[in-house]
Amino acid sequence: MKKAVCIMSGGMDSTLCATLALKEGYEVVALHFDYDQRTMKREKRAFSEICDFLGIKNRLNLDVNFIAKIGANALTDRTLDIPKDGLSDEVPKTYVPFRNGIFISIAAALAEKEGANALFIGVVEDDSSGYPDCRSDFIKAIERAINLGTKDETKLEIKMPLVGLSKAQIVAKSLEFNSPLHLTWSCYESDDEACGLCDSCRLRLRGFELAKAKDPIKYAKNG
């Protein structure tokens, strides 16, 4: 059976990626990262529950808290406020410097060890917070670098099936393929009820609204 490493945050995008990987016949190796982010415990719980729902047994949760030590982002630095003033064209304070580059590099090492030929990541380029490490050109470039820096028999394809989709399309696909939206967590600030005001909550809520669907998770406040 073909094998894929899926980077899974516990959010709805990466969960849909794992769902699609399974639909494509991959044996999934689920990879989750703890980096001392504000909602780390809630995201870890989501990851575990999603893997249980999807029947993914091969899973790895890695501590990469050096990311928090580097800092320079509102997800790990509690002295910075999570932006709640709506979406803008600027890179927000919630951008974690080169996070996807770090995650993909570690995932590539796991993929080489597991003999996987695919790596799934739920990056979204157009309808997103505008993080530079979610650009398709970057992902393609790091894929080339990985294949140059691994064994000859390691031929890894980085799959980003959501990169050109809107959040509404992601919601619709999640419903179509029975991706467990009710288990996912997107909020940047709260691990009890989603705040409804941070960038991630706003993007998620707008996606559900445009898809004419109801979000199954609870919010303290809707937008």
| Binding-site sequence positions for Zn(2+) | 187, 195, 198, 201
Report the Cα 66 to chain-centroid distance in Å.
Answer: 19
State the DSSP code for 34: E
Element spanning 204, H or E = helix 199-210
Instruction: Indicate the annotated binding residues.
Output: 8-18, 187, 195, 198, 201
Structure tokens at 23: 């639909």
Instruction: Indicate the annotated binding residues for ATP.
Output: 8-18
**Alpha-carbon distances, residue 188 vs 16, 55, 83, 182, 206 (angstroms):** 19, 27, 10, 17, 16
State the DSSP code for 31: E
Residues 6+ apart with CB under 8 A from 133: 98, 99, 100, 101, 123
Structure tokens at 15: 């969960």
- Cβ–Cβ contacts within 10 Å for residue 180, how many? 19
* Rounded Cα gap, residues 83 and 92, in angstroms: 8
Burial class (CB in 10 A: 0-12, 13-18, 19+), 182: exposed
